[in-house]
Structure 1
């Protein structure tokens, strides 16, 4: 493919809808019906400014620029990629159709769409080099990948040998200032992904200790099962530390590649008492059937994928103990309010 575009919406939440509907799409409901070939950035910016008079200038310019690119610069035959933060996978496809207005999809954040032929093979984020990961960390909804990132992703998707970029100095320059509405949002997004990279690399036993540490920071006392048969519970968390006081939270931790399915969820639920509360942690994510199984469970059950785990860790990091901080050492950064 000559070019490869990142297209994602709602923070990656549209990943499955893109695949199921065979499209890549963006939102911007105020601009959706005006996103046609030939429309100018200035026209889109004026429409957006009229619809959102309180919007900051950077937001107006960024929004108009991304919609304009999707309508005018993306072409049939171009490659497209989208990201799932929950599963840490990239879906790759080829654009097969012109831009179209879909009023019936506006509520899904997909009012502006192009048909895409998605490949069956996904690329895992953990397979990629650090420079490529950093390139993909932008919060922009639509942007063109530089050649080094495109080459590595296409090589990973095809199983070919990868010539990795080894240093940040080899990367191209920054994106144009006019397209960055909120530089801090990019920093936040990149930080979360880098923390997920760090957490993903720790071992299974340390992952259990990390989850226990987060629960302690949330106010619970924990018991971590010894190495060996855990009988479906890696951690018991409760107010008293013995599991006598409610809520008694039974935790299963699976730190491995691949999503957990409905069978694993049913097996976990099968050993629970009626007064238990369940927490199932899978850093590889969950299938649709697993999510459905959790929703209909008789015992209250919460699912944490890697994204949820890391965001919960960040939220409670200051309250974590020294052992938890040793597992995932982070530094606070201040930014002007």
Structure 2
């Protein structure tokens, strides 16, 4: 692929707009005419923050970056890949016009003219290529499989579905990327929505989903014990401490938690971050305490997601899907 020519991916809810009017477009109507913003990423972030005052901090660079790329980085002559949902096809075209603001449009006011070349059934492309254009962002750069989409425009392009069966390593790598993206999303949702005491109640509900009986301590804690859990009516008792801080948990903090335990107790320390090296060594030497870091907590959430309280599922909305794996 030429270094100058790029391949972009885009999503929309209005397939007809794209295919019948020969355009690609994005929304964010409140941003107005994007050509009036200085051609600088920081300027786009500043404008986005000004317009969307309630936007989550982590979403600002992502959304502002998409807008900036659509206006300033995508060039006439670049290619665009658009997976249409209405007919389950992959449409490939080329950008033919500079950015323009369409004030008369209701939803998608930020536009670029395109010429659509070909329309393919999804099975013409490898699974990895389909995963890449299934990105969560509205407008994004196609990197890993750009050459495959460009090759589709050649006369001798052949259906690559059969070849895909031999691409187990690519499939596995792509599946891992999807799983990691999901884990990142869940961890960010925990940091955003469950700071402090709310995380204690969430962890208690997760433990109940795992089959434990729990009691959450009153706010203020009970000697550092946030939750008391039992597998059934009989011992052992499991004492749980929960931390939602960004900073890694030190050995001193874990030692203090152990000091609150009585003979016969087991401990569970849950953090959204991780443990310092010394804290990990301490946990290894004291196996009666199980330390769970942020990603380990996420793995448990995904495993027992269907049994979580509905109010928590609404905060962390996930859908069970099946993806191919290498065998």
Rg larger in 1 or in 2? 2
